[in-house]
Structure 1
Amino acid sequence: MWGRELFSIVFFAVLVLLVAIHILGSADVVRAFQQGLEHRLTVESKEAWLGGVPLGDVSSYVVPRNASPYESLHSEGKVKAVVIVARHCDRAPQNYAPAYATGTRRRPYKPFPFDKTKWDVDYGELTALGMYQCYRFGRFLHERYVQGHPNDRLLRARYNHEETHVRATDVDRTLVSAAAVMHGLYPAASNPSHQRRHRYSKKQYHIPGGFQYVPIHTRLYGDDRLLDGSGKGRCQLWDIVSKKMLKSDFVYGELQRRSDLYAALPSLANVSVEAFQSMKKKKKLALAATLRDIRICQKSHSIPAPATVSRFDADLEVLTARLNGAKWDASGLGPLVGGRLLRSISTRLATAIEADNGNVQVLARAKDECNRKGHDGDEIGNCYRKLVYYSGHDTTIFDIRAALGVTAIEDGIAPYASHVIFELRRTGPEENDFRVSVYAGHYDQKPRPLFGPFCDGNFSCTASSFFSWVLNTVPNNVSEACIRTERAPDILRRALGNVAKEDNAFQSGHKAVREQSASGGAFSRQFARVLIIGTIGFILVLSAPIVFRLRRTSIRSEYAAV
């Protein structure tokens, strides 16, 4: 009987302990939920400044998770022209980083202490991985526009200068990226000498492997306002506003609030504390952004870093997202920094419509004027080409996305091979039966529809609607709009007000959830401790008489046996 009583007590005790463990586990779940919510709030806050508009006004422009895939528009007509704006692919870290703070470093050209990697190329150059990424993107374009669905076939298998035009910034990594993409689009054995001999010669001239060379146009980087619209000195109004935004509490204040990262920056960058403290705010932010750049490059190549470095990865991601979001999203100046490129793209698509409708002048200019001494009207966009490929930088992607009125932020920075594709399709026999569709993707994600105000919240609309939106959004004279620096205070006031409201909402919600979960978690843990201690005491009190009686019975049995 006493054995059954002891068993009941033990069973009850185990049950109580399981309840206590469950409560402790629930507290952990609360903490996990808090962390998940913190992540979600961080992600959502990135969407909060589209063109200087609060989040609630632009939610319809966020791409839904179940967006139609890129391959789904065959039924809407035959593609007639494509313009692609893309970032270069994987590269090594830049300029013995940090390029922006070298003046305060003891040894300006010494790599960061934790960057001991012997890169296969020099700093800032395209890596073998980057060449492969761009080649694969070119293969995707080949499979779609050369070998794809009949409604998608746009190009001949062999390069033709009247069909394809390529331009890159005057930087090695963008030029090589463009070449790699073209090698994928026009692979080996597609060059003219490999396909046929000259009619008057028995000789066949070809490079081993049949490599197809494609001309890549460029301009001096200092003069390239088309693909580097947000570069320093391109737009005075942008320079003033973005500089003030970086100094704001929303951006620089975030760096200071992440005190561990702020304190570690000097040692991470091999800069003395005194030199770091004397830096201007912009240089400190540039230092942190360059650290993030190195970490991205290292992770792309599975290069390990000490825990003292990798522990700041999450901080650097959030800081970079704020930095880019403040400059491109909050300012609302996308039509200035990306306006030239967007207007040129719009004109190119309109020119393609004229050509497809048989405009003799447009077709003649494409064969004569547009091929004369490399002139292709990139800034104007009035030369007819079936496919135009622009190879630029992450800032090029930020510029064009901001001009389109959608968030420039993609995971804090545009991933390698990020691209925006503009597709023109003919939907009927009438002169105006054309649609423009916009897509976005990167090296690890096929293009998906990009929803935005340019198509009234959709990703596809009539060409006339798209052209009208661009006409009403981009200033007639971007250069003149850029020198109107007297507008800077009003733009700053609006931008800082928007980010402050969003940031306060985020911080208030985050604090409330944190306090609620912390108080709830603390109560749960305290209750569980009391429950466990009480259970142990309960077991001792109830089991003591039983143990005593069992002991007495055992002694009597021993005497009886004697």
Structure 2
Amino acid sequence: MSPAEISVSHSRWFLLYFFITFMCFLVFDQASAEKKLKFVVMVFRHGDRSPVETYPKDKYQESSWPDGFGQLTELGIEQHYELGKYLRKRYSGFLNETYSNNEVYVRSSDKDRTLMSAQANLAGLYPPVGRQIWNKNITWRPIPVHTVPLSEDNMLYMPLKNCPQYKKLEEETYASKELQSLLDPYKDFINSLQKDTGLSSKELNEEHKWWKVSDALFCERSHNYTLPEWATPDVLDKLLKLSDIGMSSLYGVYKQHEKSRLQGGVLVGSILKNITYAANEPSSNLKLIMYSGHDTTIAALQMALNVSNGKLAPYAACHIFELYEADDGKYNIEMYYRNDSTVDPYLLTLPGCNSSCPLTMFTDLTSSIIVEDWKKECGVTEDGYTSSGAVVGLSIAVAFLSVAVLGLLIFYCHRRKSLLHYENV
């Protein structure tokens, strides 16, 4: 091939490369122009904390932790402040730079660590600027975080309590072949924990209290406490795997669909209700709803949506729902999961749909896990008693009434007999 021919060939390849590159930019630019972010809902776990509780032989009991058990640490505050700054960057141009009560709503479970995590997150998301600077030496302003008592929380403090049907499913799960097959490889290991932890065989095998050991050792290692000699890397690894199994068994492993209707489906239903409202009410100023919960909250949500990776949600993990409006006026939902602050969030796909799922299809695909009357499906009557409890209560009431009637009859008969023996004077 002559130099001239080589030159012409190179020119053709350059033109072809330029054309392809131009078309790619055009397609990407068009794709970005075809959708507009309208609404965001996110559910995140609290930040790093001290152990919720520990095992009997642990030398680090509650007094060993500066703020006691189950409290957010300085590292946890930092984790959520970092998440808030990330969200500020991600939604720059969508959210106002300053906090507006019409734009964002925040709800937390009624636990110190989740309430404080939400506050730390908001400090990173809404650093005060302009008129909202109330003290030039403090780059923070208070932002409301709403909550309800734990006894009334039917959305974030998972697993939801006061649900007899779920309790029944939980007991069935413990005895199920599905769960036992997952635990069988660890039976000897679980029994070996009795000596070092002080937990009984019943606590370890029937009540699955090994999660206490796993949680305590994980927290202690994270904060550079000296671990006992028996807590080798192999032991810690097995405890972590057992914790993953334990979390999965709360909402899956056995009768996952039935559990989802009573647990994660409740949260999915609330999120979809708000997303649907945002789509149908374009004049609404609300742009962001934030839910501050627990690892159990995220596990319940993701198991209900069938997008769980089977792993415990790390501290400050965040599941994001984004509602987009296309040029044709239709709405799509995209889901992202941020469980690692060093990489971009992972795109999640609802089974049966695309990663950018039409709102109507998303609603249809999740309809089977959303119940209309949660209390009724749980077996709770209007007055708060379980259906079985109501029957027992009625039986007791009937028994008392029967005894009372019988007593009155005996008294009446005895009284009548006495009157018959009276004589006139």
The TM-score with structure 2 as length reference comes to 0.74
Match of residue 327 from structure 1: 250
| CA distance in 2 between partners of 1:191 and 1:391 (Å) | 28
Amino acid in structure 1 at the alignment position of 2:318: H
TM-superposed deviation, 1:246: 2.2
TM-superposed deviation, 1:256: 6.2
| CA distance in 1 between partners of 2:51 and 2:369 (Å) | 36
Match of residue 340 from structure 1: 266
Deviations 1:6-26 (A, max 9, x none): xxxxxxxxxxxxxxxxxxxxx
Q: 1:318 to 1:249 in 2, by over 3 A?
A: farther
User: Is it true that 1:414 corresponds to 2:313 in the alignment?
Assistant: yes
The structure number with the bigger radius of gyration is: 1
- Does the 8 Å CA contact 1:190/1:212 hold for their aligned counterparts? no
Q: How many residues align structurally?
A: 348
TM-superposed deviation, 1:267: 3.0
2:107 to 160, 164, 167: 167
> Any residues of structure 2 matched to 1:247-286 within 5 Å, and which?
247-248=175-176, 250-251=178-179, 257-271=185-199, 276-277=200-201, 279=203, 281-283=205-207, 285-286=208-209
Amino acid in structure 2 at the alignment position of 1:471: S
User: Is it true that 1:124 corresponds to 2:70 in the alignment?
Assistant: yes
- Does the 8 Å CA contact 1:120/1:127 hold for their aligned counterparts? no
| CA distance in 1 between partners of 2:314 and 2:34 (Å) | 30
Match of residue 330 from structure 2: 433
TM-superposed deviation, 1:433: 2.0
- Does the 8 Å CA contact 2:322/2:334 hold for their aligned counterparts? yes
Q: 1:343 to 1:259 in 2, by over 3 A?
A: closer
- Does the 8 Å CA contact 1:246/1:327 hold for their aligned counterparts? no
User: Is it true that 1:245 corresponds to 2:173 in the alignment?
Assistant: yes
- Does the 8 Å CA contact 1:191/1:211 hold for their aligned counterparts? no
Amino acid in structure 1 at the alignment position of 2:141: Q
Residue identity (%) = 28
The TM-score with structure 1 as length reference comes to 0.57
1:299 to 202, 221, 225: 221
Q: 1:279 to 1:471 in 2, by over 3 A?
A: closer
- Does the 8 Å CA contact 1:163/1:387 hold for their aligned counterparts? yes
> Any residues of structure 2 matched to 1:370-389 within 5 Å, and which?
385-389=286-290
TM-superposed deviation, 1:342: 0.9
- Does the 8 Å CA contact 2:41/2:321 hold for their aligned counterparts? yes
TM-superposed deviation, 1:220: 0.1
Amino acid in structure 2 at the alignment position of 1:440: Y
TM-superposed deviation, 1:392: 0.3
| CA distance in 1 between partners of 2:216 and 2:367 (Å) | 40
TM-superposed deviation, 1:483: 2.2
Q: Which runs of 5+ in 2 are unaligned?
A: 1-29, 381-385, 388-425
Deviations 1:347-393 (A, max 9, x none): 1111112232x4xxxx4xxxxxxxxxxxxxxxxxxxx6201100001
TM-superposed deviation, 1:116: 9.9
- Does the 8 Å CA contact 1:237/1:483 hold for their aligned counterparts? yes
> Any residues of structure 2 matched to 1:160-559 within 5 Å, and which?
160-187=100-127, 189-190=128-129, 192-194=131-133, 206=135, 208-233=137-162, 235-248=163-176, 250-251=178-179, 257-271=185-199, 276-277=200-201, 279=203, 281-283=205-207, 285-286=208-209, 288-310=210-232, 311-330=234-253, 331-332=255-256, 333-356=259-282, 358=283, 363=284, 385-407=286-308, 409-410=310-311, 413-428=312-327, 430=328, 432-444=329-341, 445-453=343-351, 456-483=352-379
TM-superposed deviation, 1:207: 6.3
Q: 1:127 to 1:386 in 2, by over 3 A?
A: same
Amino acid in structure 2 at the alignment position of 1:82: V
| CA distance in 2 between partners of 1:192 and 1:78 (Å) | 30
| CA distance in 2 between partners of 1:131 and 1:73 (Å) | 37
| CA distance in 2 between partners of 1:145 and 1:458 (Å) | 23
Superposition RMSD in Å: 2.8
Q: 1:305 to 1:250 in 2, by over 3 A?
A: farther
Q: 1:317 to 1:433 in 2, by over 3 A?
A: same
Deviations 1:527-556 (A, max 9, x none): xxxxxxxxxxxxxxxxxxxxxxxxxxxxxx
Q: 1:120 to 1:77 in 2, by over 3 A?
A: farther
| CA distance in 2 between partners of 1:118 and 1:254 (Å) | 34
- Does the 8 Å CA contact 2:337/2:345 hold for their aligned counterparts? yes
| CA distance in 2 between partners of 1:305 and 1:73 (Å) | 53
Deviations 1:386-438 (A, max 9, x none): 0110000111101111221233622xx2111122100011211x4x4221101
| CA distance in 2 between partners of 1:408 and 1:228 (Å) | 21
Higher relative contact order (CA 8 A, sep 6+): 1
Match of residue 42 from structure 1: none
Q: Which runs of 5+ in 1 are unaligned?
A: 1-71, 99-104, 106-110, 147-152, 195-204, 364-383, 487-562
SS in structure 1 at match of 2:89:
helix
TM-superposed deviation, 1:268: 2.7
Amino acid in structure 2 at the alignment position of 1:141: L
| CA distance in 2 between partners of 1:354 and 1:263 (Å) | 56
SS in structure 1 at match of 2:252:
helix
TM-superposed deviation, 1:262: 2.7
| CA distance in 2 between partners of 1:282 and 1:218 (Å) | 34
Q: 1:308 to 1:423 in 2, by over 3 A?
A: same
- Does the 8 Å CA contact 1:88/1:174 hold for their aligned counterparts? yes
